[in-house]
Amino acid sequence: MGTTDYNAQLHTLHQKHAILEQLVTHAKNIHEQSCNVSDTLTLIKPSQVIPTRTRKQLTSLAASQQKYSDEALRIRQAKVDKLIQDNVKHTMRLVEQLSEINTDDILEQQLEQIRAADVAYGKRTKLALAIRIALQDRGLVTPRLHVSLDQDYLNEKIEDLCKQEHQCREKIHQQIDEVIDDCKAMLKLPKLPMQLREVLQHTEILMHKNLICLDEGKPINGLNVEIDFEVIDVKIATFSNPDIDLAPVEKAPPKQAEPKQPPPLEDSNCTANSDKDTKANIDTNNEELPASSSWIVRLIQRIKGIIPR
């Protein structure tokens, strides 16, 4: 079999994996919005009864509020409630926008923009709930959140989002099946490079685990659809150009460290730790980006056997 055949099948696998990643991101956005709308519904109910499941999820965040006095907690509650009130309509527009996305033509940039807004709003609703839990644990009455949305409307949106997530999960299942089939077909090819064979075998096993996760109805956040395309992309290059030089690349001399800037002043009334690795900030919504890594150097060294996988 020629290099063109290898490249064609690798390219197809690459495309199907990209679609799978976008579907998973889309499903996660739907799930995140469903949680946000559900939290908003809890906040606007006159009874102010917070479900046991929500209390357990916010245990650490609620505990972090106990250091504040009753008066300070009331101030924080009013402040975060105002931010939610200012953004709730925009969040509901995102819910509508998400429902209009065609899963056959998903734009990655569009998904990331929606997710960023979801995360910001979700931090605030969870902080608002955590503050109420802290106040209620002290035997204090907490006021409902006043927004221009009624409970029936929010319940309808939650139901719509659940249907969308179910449909998206079905498409993810179909896409995973196709990725598995492509991996099996490629593993039957003669003279397949060992390192590429290992990646394909690992991918097939990983995708089967994802199918089990979906079939058991586990949360979409538990899916892992990452494939080591750093290896696959290099293999495509070597098939196309067997004379490519894979010798280790010499590292450039390190740059001189720039003088550190003084850290910005922090508003002590605006920050609280969440249960996960996010920062619930009332006023700001800065997202930390992962540091870049020299994966190309590591990949080439790995292919040459300089460093283990």
Note whether 246 and 304 are within 8 A (CB): yes
User: Given this model, what pLDDT does residue 84 score?
Assistant: 95
Give residues with Cβ within 8 angstroms of 182, minimum separation 6. Answer: 9, 12, 13, 16
Domain boundaries, the chain: 3-221
Give the least confident one: 57-71, 105-119, 144-158, 200-214: 105-119
DSSP character for 220? G
Q: Enumerate the β-bridge partners of residue 280.
A: 272
> pLDDT digits over 72-114, tens only?
999 999 999 999 999 998 888 888 877 776 665 555 666 777 7
Q: Which two tokens stand for residue 10?
A: 């690798």
State pTM to two decimals: 0.69
Which residue in the block uniquely carries the two structure tokens 């799930």?
31
Question: Residue 130: pLDDT above 50?
Answer: yes
Please give the distance of CA 138 from its chain centroid, rounded to a whole number: 35
Question: Residue 231: pLDDT above 80?
Answer: no
User: Given this model, what pLDDT does residue 278 score?
Assistant: 38
Q: How far is CA 140 from CA 13, 69, 70, 129, in A?
A: 57, 12, 9, 14
Residue type, 174: Q
DSSP character for 281? E
Q: How far is CA 58 from CA 44, 128, 140, 307, in A?
A: 18, 11, 18, 42
Computed from CA positions of residues 226, 231, 237, 239, in that sequence, does the dihedral angle turn out positive or negative?
negative
Percent of the chain with pLDDT over 70: 68
